[in-house]
Structure 1
Amino acid sequence: MGLLVLLVVGGIIGWIASMIMRDNTGLFLNIVVGIVGAILAGFIVTPLIGGAPITSGVIGIQSIIVSLLGAIVLLAIINLVRRGSVR
């Protein structure tokens, strides 16, 4: 059940991040960016500010915002590598 929640929430977060960055990468990359961004931000940022990462199954506003920021940063890095500019 936790994996399904991570896929759904990660997909939504990746889609929102791609809308914020104005990037048209596709559904699969949106899901991957959302999940990887959520995991990285959950392990790096969440211990610094306190709270539970989205990977623990706790879906709160703090974990969603941290995951969204992680997905946006990851999408910016992907754009920088692919295109040479962040947009």
Structure 2
Amino acid sequence: MKVKVEIDCTPEEARTFFGLPDVQPLQAKILAEMERRILAEMDCFSPEALLRSWMSLAPQGAEQVQDAFTRMFQQGFGGGTKPSR
């Protein structure tokens, strides 16, 4: 025997029928706080800020770039001399 029951009601009506609490006000407060925090941190993730942080990791100046390449090639080829500074 099969029994099929269809109930046509809104989520609010179902929540009330089953005695569940209405969490919409709490959800609205949490979402507003999340939005505030995301917007406050948005400047940290701007392309300019990311580029500045990445560029700070790169060697500054032609001498540093040359020294970095020299060290890289010496380590890769097993060279015994160290670059002078």
Shorter-chain TM range is under 0.3
Higher relative contact order (CA 8 A, sep 6+): 1
Question: Which entry has the higher C-alpha Rg, 1 or 2?
Answer: 2
TM-score by length of 2: 0.27
TM-score, normalised via structure 1 length: 0.26
| Structure with greater proportional helix content | 1
